[in-house]
Chains A and B, each alone.
Chain A
Amino acid sequence: MSNRSLRGKVAIVGVGQSPSGRVPDRSPLDLTADATLKALADAGMDKSEIDGVLTGNAFASSFHRFSVALSEYLNIQPSYSNTLQVSGATAAAAVNTAAAAINAGLADTVLVACGDSLLTGMTPDMAIRAMTESRDQQYEMPFGIPVANTFAMTAHRHMKEFGTTPEQMAQVAVTFREHAARTPGAQKTDPITIEDVLASKMVTTPYHKLDCSLISDGGVALILTSAERAYDYAQEPIFILGAGEHYSHEHIFLMPELTETGAVKSAQKAYDMAGISAKDVDVAGIYDCFTGTVLMMLEDLGFCKKGEAGPFVEAGEITYGGTIPTNTHGGMLSYAHPGIPAAWYHFAEVVRQLRNSCGDRQVTDAELGLVHTLGAGFSTQATTILGKESTL
Chain B
Amino acid sequence: MIELLVNGFLGIMSIDTILFIGVGVFIGIVFGAIPGLTATMAVALFLPVTYGLSPINGMSLLMGLYLGGISGGLIPAILLNMPGTPSSITTAFDGYPMTQKGQAGKALGIGIVFSFLGGLIGILVLIFVAPPLAEFSLRFAAFEYFAIAIFSLTMIAGLSEGSLLKGLISASLGITIGMVGMAPIDSAQRFTFGISDLTSGFALLPALIGFYAVSEVFKSSESRELLDMKDDSEAGKIRNYTMKGFGFTFKEFVVQIANLFRSSMIGTGIGMLPGLGGTTANIISYGTAKSQSKNPKEFGKGSMSGLVASESSNNASIGGALIPLFTLGIPGDTVTAMLLGGLMIHGLQPGPLLFQNNGELIYSIFAALFLANIIMIIYQFSNMKVFVKLLNIPKHILFPIIITLCVVGAFALNNRVFDVYSLIIFGLMGYALMKLKFPVPPVIMGFILGPIMEQNLRRGLMMSRGSITPFLTRPISAVFLGLAVLSIIIILYRGRNKSYGNMGGNR
Instruction: Indicate whether A and B interact.
Output: no
